[in-house]
Amino acid sequence: MGLFKKWFGKDKSHNEQNNETQNQEEQKEVLLEADVETENENEASYYAEEVQDTENEEEEVNDAAESEEENVISEDADMDSDIENDSFSESDFSEAVSSEEVTEESPKPKMGFFSKLVKGLTKTRSNIMEGIDQVLKSFKKIDEELFEELEEALIMADIGVDTTLNIINGLRIKVKEQKITDASELKQLLIEEISSLLERGDHEIHVDEGPTVILVIGVNGVGKTTTIGKLAHNMKQQNKKVLLAAADTFRAAAIDQLEVWGNRAGVDVIRHQENSDPAAVIFDAVQAAKSRKTDVLICDTAGRLHNKKNLMEELRKIFRIISREYPEARKEVLLVLDATTGQNALQQVKLFKEVADITGIILTKLDGTAKGGIIIAINSEMNIPVKYIGVGEGIDDLQPFNPQEFAKALFAEENNDSL
């Protein structure tokens, strides 16, 4: 009996639980149906509002279109009225167009090389002229004391002792010949005297007279390779066919640097591997120049001076190859000097003159120094003409040297832009 009650009670409890579960599921279904109905009602309300908004927007667009159409009609009417009342003639229109053309901003003219030269020599000019002007303002009459003061001012301006003495002696002669007594007239005499010193020698490279081989030498660090790239560009601007030879095979990255400049100038470069024989590079470059009918072959060479014997032998070997393989070509040996080194540049000329027959000087970086007066000493004392000068970092800032224009720019007497 106890066992029956136990099982019966269990079955009853199990049935109650089933009934409760069934009731819970029915309640869930009712709630879900209610939620679905509510969601459907909300969705219907949402779409009804959206349709209403769309209708309102369409009404606004239609109203705006009607309003715009009315405005266009009104503007057309006003325009017709203006055209009927306007007396704007063709001549007035021409004047208006002309006026607009005048008011347009005209392009700035490109600075010529003479203007760059005047600007680039600012530091050098100040270094020289401050002392000279001070002397000329202190004297009204020309006497020996004035010449001594001028002599000191020129030496202090890096023109050099020997060159200064030549200038002062020339001034004395001209003063006597022209019977000049006013100290203010000495400035023009200085320009003439300096010009006469700078004019010594042949300042041109005669590339029009046949094929030309240019050997460029100079100590490392003076901008030799950069100068070669600019020189190649300058020659190409003269419609010359140019070829470069990378014969400075021992300096690190010299070959790659020359190739970069060759690409900038649009010029081919003959090269070998680093540490190869420079003379072999020159040989291949000469053969290439001959076969391509090149006008100018520019050769980069080693710039070390610590062992002059090896450098001399190397240059002699290069000269022999050029003379043997390319006898019809004109030869130029150009020494690149950094103007910022001042009197040290004069020493470099003396050292290189011992190992090579230098035909010309390229003086760079004149725009960054107050020691540009050294160009006068180089041309006067070493008897080697300056062929090119550089007054900037741009590829167009290396130009043929003109003694008269240099003297005018040095004393700031700018009256043209002929360069």
DSSP string, 90-149: HHHHHHHHHHHHHHSPPPPPPPPHHHHHHHHTHHHHHHHHHHHHHHHHH-SB--HHHHHH
- Residue 387 labelled as part of a binding site: no
- Residue 220 labelled as part of a binding site: yes
In the block, residue with structure tokens 């009609």: 73
- Residue 324 labelled as part of a binding site: no
- Residue 367 labelled as part of a binding site: yes
Cβ partners under 8 Å of residue 154, min gap 6: 128, 131, 132, 163, 164, 167, 168, 373
Q: Is residue 39 part of a domain?
A: yes
pLDDT of residue 314: 86
Q: Is residue 7 part of a domain?
A: no
Euclidean distance between CA atoms 105 and 35, whole angstroms: 74
**pLDDT per position as a tens digit, 44-70:** 444 444 445 445 544 554 554 455 445
- Residue 225 labelled as part of a binding site: yes
* 324 token code pair: 């043997």
| Range(s) of the domain holding residue 36 | 16-51
- Residue 122 labelled as part of a binding site: no
- Residue 365 labelled as part of a binding site: yes
Q: Is residue 155 part of a domain?
A: no
Is the distance from CB of 397 to CB of 116 less than 8 angstroms? Answer: yes
Strand order in the sheet with 360-364: 268-270, 242-246, 296-300, 212-217, 330-338, 360-364, 386-390, 398-400
- Residue 279 labelled as part of a binding site: no
pLDDT of residue 99: 38
- Residue 397 labelled as part of a binding site: no
Is the distance from CB of 278 to CB of 251 less than 8 angstroms? Answer: no
**How many domains, the chain?**
1
Q: Tell me, what DSSP letter sits at residue 274?
A: T
pLDDT of residue 111: 59
- Residue 9 labelled as part of a binding site: no
Euclidean distance between CA atoms 172 and 178, whole angstroms: 10
Element (DSSP H or E) covering residue 299: strand 296-300
pLDDT of residue 292: 95
Is the distance from CB of 389 to CB of 118 less than 8 angstroms? Answer: no
- Residue 316 labelled as part of a binding site: no
Q: Which residues pair with 216 in a beta bridge?
A: 300, 334
- Residue 38 labelled as part of a binding site: no
- Residue 277 labelled as part of a binding site: no
Element (DSSP H or E) covering residue 386: strand 386-390
Q: Is residue 236 part of a domain?
A: no
pLDDT beneath 50: ranges in the chain? 1-16, 18, 28, 30-51, 53-54, 57-58, 61, 64-65, 68-69, 71-109, 414-419
pLDDT of residue 95: 42
- Residue 143 labelled as part of a binding site: no
Q: Is residue 75 part of a domain?
A: no
**pLDDT per position as a tens digit, 184-207:** 888 888 878 887 888 887 888 888
* 65 token code pair: 């279109």
pLDDT of residue 288: 96
Report the relative pairing of strands 296-300 and 268-270 from DSSP bridges.
unpaired
Q: Is residue 378 part of a domain?
A: no
- Residue 31 labelled as part of a binding site: no
Beta carbons within 10 angstroms of residue 143's beta carbon: 11
Q: Is residue 41 part of a domain?
A: yes
Q: Is 76 helix (H, G, I), strand (E, B) or coil?
A: helix
Q: Is residue 46 part of a domain?
A: yes
Is the distance from CB of 368 to CB of 390 less than 8 angstroms? Answer: no
